[in-house]
Amino acid sequence: MELEQGRLKELADEQGTSIAALQTLLLALQSQTGADHFYIFWLSGNAAASTRTRRQRTLLAFRTPDAALAFAQRNQLMAAAQPRLQRLSILQLVQAVLREPAISALLFVGDEHADAALPAGALPPGIRTERADLLKQLASTQHSIS
């Protein structure tokens, strides 16, 4: 819990907002998504370097590790160098999006879409949150708290 408080303060300071404004945003996301932790699938090595050259990316966050791995397998990402699955809190996901301008959106994929038979390359349905919207919400929450 102390680590999360430290992260909250650090991110609030980085964004020029209050901890209360950030907590309001995180609670709203948790309410929308129904969870406070998600799994992401990421790549390291040569495959990751090639994806970094893209201008805008969407960060996919899955409710279960199985859903994340199924998506990776369906999109043939498992052949990439050192694929990894990581469990992140909503705070860590928001922190990643706000710190990395190349991540334009965060897509929370719910359990109901985990087994969807989607073609390779298609994004699963879920709750999409744009980076710009996160920044606007933080700014508007900050003004209403002040």
pLDDT tens across 70-113, in order?
A: 888 777 776 655 667 899 999 999 999 999 999 999 999 976 65
Q: Which pLDDT belongs to residue 144? A: 64
Q: Residue 39 is encoded by which pair of tokens?
A: 């799994």
For residues 63 and 114, what is the distance between their CA atoms, to the nearest angstrom? 8
Q: Which tops the pLDDT comparison, 68 or 42?
A: 68
Task: Give the model confidence (pLDDT) of 10-53 as tens digits.
Answer: 999 999 999 999 999 999 999 999 999 999 987 655 444 444 45
Q: Which pLDDT belongs to residue 33? A: 94
Pick from 71, 54, 87: which is nearest to 124 by CA? 71
Task: Mention every residue, 6+ apart, whose C-beta is less than 8 A from residue 77.
Answer: 41, 43, 47, 71, 83
